[in-house]
């Protein structure tokens, strides 16, 4: 299994839809995870940190399944402004750096 | 305002030329990182530094060099040995060198070959 793997998408959804992305990781010792958002030709920005079973922030919910080694990001009531690429990030083996997934692209249409 | 500043925003390199990308942070972060991102690809780690005067190679260090003489600054030199330097270069920092800390990014430098 790759260190971190994401479905590249794109996910095309209408405004108001609920969409979920999954991310699988190989380092079973990982304790912390992050979701970043990256707009086209911009830098990644931290969306959410996940240190236990999950985290919720408004319309965004991250859930962690340690047994199956995957993390999910759920976006409810999608907005046009949610269109971006979502990066799953996990600690690298040895724990001194982070490994970034290639990202899942989301396109929200009117 | 605290943050990470990268300069220049756009840079063009001639054949055989070395170029240096600047990264400065005023967040008082200990750890700093350089990534390269190619179109449609994920971020790949070039070099990282956990403390002043110390740095480690990442996954794709060949053709690059760095220095960390000050806590606030972590410049990246793209040498002529890097044969395919065209990419989006991102600098990041975090409070500690542990991977349970999120990294915060500058707004990047786009490097192209003339």
pLDDT tens digits along A65-105: 989 999 999 999 999 999 999 999 998 877 678 899 999 99
- Distance (Å, whole) CA B88 – CA B91: 10
Burial class (CB in 10 A: 0-12, 13-18, 19+), A18: exposed
Residue A40: count of CB within 10 angstroms of its CB: 8
CA A52 to chain centre: 15
Count how many Cα atoms sit within 13 Å of the Cα of residue B78 in the half-sphere of its side chain. 26
Residue B54: count of CB within 10 angstroms of its CB: 10
In the prediction, which pLDDT does A95 show?
A: 63
In the prediction, which pLDDT does B108 show?
A: 97
Which residues from chain B sit within 8 angstroms of residue A34, using beta carbons?
102
* pLDDT over 70 at A63, yes or no: yes
Which of B45, B46, B56, B99 best probes binding to A when mutated, by most A CB atoms within 10 angstroms?
Answer: B99
pLDDT tens-place string over residues B3-21: 999 999 999 988 889 999 9
Average pLDDT of span A52-57: 87
Which residues from chain A sit within 8 angstroms of residue B61, using beta carbons?
none
CB B50 to CB A96 under 8 A?
Answer: yes
CB A96 to CB B97 under 8 A?
Answer: yes
Chain B residues with a Cβ under 8 Å from any Cβ in chain A: 33, 35, 40-43, 45, 48, 50, 56, 58, 88, 90, 97-100, 102-108
Q: Are residues A74 and A64 in contact, defined by beta-carbon separation less than 8 angstroms?
A: no
Q: Are residues B85 and B96 in contact, defined by beta-carbon separation less than 8 angstroms?
A: no
Q: Are residues A16 and A77 in contact, defined by beta-carbon separation less than 8 angstroms?
A: yes
In the prediction, which pLDDT does B113 show?
A: 86
The residue of chain B nearest to residue A10, with distances taken between CA atoms, is B40
A94: left (phi over 0), alpha (psi -120 to 50) or beta: left
pLDDT: is A2 or B40 the higher one?
B40
pLDDT tens-place string over residues B30-75: 999 999 999 888 899 999 999 999 999 999 999 999 999 999 999 9
């Amino acid at each position: 299994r790759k260190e971190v793997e994401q479905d590249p998408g794109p996910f095309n959804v209408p405004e108001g839809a609920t969409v979920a992305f999954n991310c699988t990781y190989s380092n079973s010792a990982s304790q912390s995870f992050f979701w970043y958002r990256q707009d086209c030709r911009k830098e990644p920005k931290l969306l959410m940190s996940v240190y236990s079973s999950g985290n919720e922030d408004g319309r965004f919910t991250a859930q962690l399944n340690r047994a199956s080694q995957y993390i999910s990001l759920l976006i409810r009531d999608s907005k046009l402004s949610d269109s971006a690429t979502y990066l799953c990030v996990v600690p690298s083996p040895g724990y001194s750096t982070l490994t970034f997934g290639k990202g899942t692209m989301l396109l929200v249409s009117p | 305002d605290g943050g990470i500043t990268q300069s220049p925003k756009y840079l063009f390199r001639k054949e055989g030329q070395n170029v240096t990308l600047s990264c400065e942070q005023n967040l008082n972060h200990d750890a700093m990182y350089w990534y390269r991102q190619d179109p449609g690809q994920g971020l790949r780690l070039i070099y990282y530094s956990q403390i002043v005067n110390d740095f480690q190679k990442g996954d794709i260090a060949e053709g690059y060099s760095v220095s960390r003489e000050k806590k606030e600054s972590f410049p990246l030199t793209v040498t002529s040995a890097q044969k395919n330097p065209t990419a989006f270069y991102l600098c990041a920092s975090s409070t500690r060198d542990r991977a349970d800390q999120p990294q915060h990014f500058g707004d990047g430098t786009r490097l192209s070959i003339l």
